Structure 1
Amino acid sequence: MTPRNVLFLGNSHTAAPRIALRDDPDRWPGFAPDVFAMPGHSLIALELDGRTLVTPDDEARRKMVYYNGVPDLPVSGYDAFVVIGGLAFHQQAILQETHRSLDFPSARRDGNFIPVSTGFVDALLRHQLEHSPALRMARMLAGLDQGPVLFLDQVLPSTECRQDPDQYGAYVALAERGDAADYRARYLRILEPLLAGGAIHLPQPASTMVADAFTAPEWMRGSIRMQPRRDVPHEASDYGHANPAYGRIQVDQITEALARL
């Protein structure tokens, strides 16, 4: 399909593809989506009133106005949606930091955990995914039946995130135990049926990943904040946001997926 009016909607992870589109429009001739972004988990406060996204939360409305210049968002004119961010695999590491099922690779080598059933681990993960801002938004938009909904979850942390143990310690430990690849495969296995019939998942390309757990740093260094009025680089200590070079890959994924529909 060739959608005429596309909306990118998400959190701070919309910045990379937004800037890629702004700086290299000739790469995607005729593709000029609108972008709506709000910080953190504030997307969870949005709800549909007919075909308009609104919020009863005063703080969330303030963020809508600050970042997008509107107190609500009519979506009736769009024929495709792309949800970006609002769900991050690395944030699920905490779920099995102390409790693991015996099918984790590390369970074969050490006993420094509380054993639980595989079904219990799956249920915890499924609950987290089902109640994430991303899946809630994808379900709402799919329910409009206006066009396809694509979903890109947040990029894996940079390999350099080991320098921030306060934020990434649980995830680095997951990777160092040798559990990250298996756990991510479980995450993807549970995610796909949750999206079925509602959104199409565009996973992170393997070519940008290291050990199926991290993103190569060249796709992360030089990332830009969500600030809509000027380019504000993230601090060098930000290891969770992709840069505009990775954003170009994301826009390639999106346009190729739309063309196949």
Structure 2
Amino acid sequence: MTAPKLLILGNSHTAASRVALRDDPERWPGFCPDVFAMPGETLADLDLQDGALHPPNAEIAQKMRFYNQTDRFSLTGYDAFVLIGGLSVNAVSALQDRHRSVDFPSVAAGQDCCLVSSGLIDALIADRIEASPALRILRKLAGLSARPVLFIDQVLPSSDCRDDPQRFAGYVAMVARGDGMAFRDRYLRVLHRVLGGDAIHLPQPAQTIADGVFSAPEWMRGSVRMNPRRDVLHEVAEHGHANAAYGALQVDQILRAL
């Protein structure tokens, strides 16, 4: 079987699979996908013209050249696309900091909140997903061709994030209230509905999940930044990016899906 010509694209969360492919090519003989990565939300800001990605301004053009050595990237000739990143349950979960419906476990337990309908919560989640960088680029890919598009959202925060008093405070508080698993299930249900036929969602591998709502730390520690020229480790307190061992599971998952 000939390996598919695949493009992996996304944000800093592409680094895990990129490093895994580079460091252990024998694990996937003949499989050499291209990787196109842009920092933050800038991937979704790129214009799609004549089957190629173009930067809309000089600042993004500079970033495109730094991370990809080009200021025009053609999307033609690929058998499939994989988008990694641009959406996370952690970011979406901020919607329920105060507003919850009766089907939240914390509400059933009598905890205080601003009570709203279940339908409104679902609509807010769907709106947040639709507005995400991930969905903005997925819609462009879906309109490009009939080739399959796979989507991998950002990894769950490491369970070590419970020691982070700022960045993940809201997520940790949600879990402490007892709403973590219920909200994640809800997010996934709404995500699949929003994606429709535009992309196939690949869920986080079960063996990497701790307590249903976190990533086990061994899959997160030692993650690298998206710097294409040399490996730069994230700081120890970075709890949102996966390492190359996790990236290898992602590549396995992608090949199974294809």
* TM-score over 0.5 (shorter chain): yes
After TM superposition, which residue ranges in structure 1, 4 or more long, deviate above 6 angstroms? none
Once the two structures are superposed, what CA deviation does each residue of 1:57-95 show, in whole Å capped at 9, x if it has no partner?
Answer: 332222111111111211112111000000011111211
- Report what 1:213 is aligned to: 213
Q: How does 1:35-50 map to 2 (within 5 A)?
A: 35-50=35-50
Whether the aligned pair in 1 keeps the contact of 2:156 and 2:214 (CA below 8 Å) is yes
Mapped partners of 2:86, 2:36: distance in 1 = 13
| Structure 1 residues 175 and 2, CA gap change in structure 2 (3 angstroms) | farther
* Secondary structure class of the residue paired with 2:167: helix
CA deviation vs aligned residue, 1:179-232 (integer Å, no higher than 9, x gap): 011111111111112212111100001211012110000000000100000000
Contact kept in structure 1, 2:53 and 2:75, CA below 8 Å: yes
DSSP 3-state at the match of 2:197 = coil
Mind listing any 5+ residue stretches in structure 2 that lack a counterpart?
A: none
- CA-atom RMSD in angstroms: 1.2
Q: For residue 151 of structure 1, what is the aligned residue in structure 2?
A: 151
In the other structure, the counterpart of 1:115 is 115
Tell me how far 1:174 sits from its aligned partner.
0.6
* Partner deviation per Cα, 1:96-124 (whole Å, 9 max, x = no partner): 10111111000012332111111111111
Q: What runs of 5+ residues in structure 1 fail to find an aligned partner?
A: none
Task: With the length of structure 1 as denominator, give the TM-score of the two structures.
Answer: 0.96
Contact persistence 2:3–2:30 (CA under 8 A): no
Aligned residue pairs total 258
Q: Which moved more, 1:175-184 or 1:40-49?
A: 40-49
Q: Which residue of 1 aligns with 2:132?
A: 132
Cα distance in 1 for partners of 2:122, 2:244 equals 34
Q: Tell me the TM-score normalized by structure 2.
A: 0.97
Question: 1:45, 1:57 within 8 Å by CA — same for their partners in 2?
Answer: no
**Match in the other structure for 2:94:** 94
2: CA distance, partners of 1:25 / 1:96: 42
Q: Which amino acid aligns with 2:97?
A: E
| Distance change in 2, residues 1:80/1:60 (3 Å) | same
- Deviation of 1:3 (Å): 5.2
Distance 2:2 2:93 in 1: 38
- Which residue does the alignment assign to 1:177? 177
What SS does the aligned partner of 1:236 have?
Answer: coil
Local SS of the residue matching 2:22: helix
Q: Distance in 1 between matches of 2:75 and 2:227?
A: 22
For residue 10 of structure 1, what is the amino acid of its counterpart? G
> Where does 1:14-29 land on structure 2 (aligned, <5 Å)?
14-29=14-29
Q: Distance in 2 between matches of 1:225 and 1:146?
A: 32
Are the counterparts in 2 of residues 3 and 80 from structure 1 also a CA contact under 8 Å?
no
CA distance in structure 2 between the partners assigned to 1:189 and 1:4 by the alignment: 29
CA distance, structure 2, for counterparts of residue 165 and residue 61 of structure 1: 36
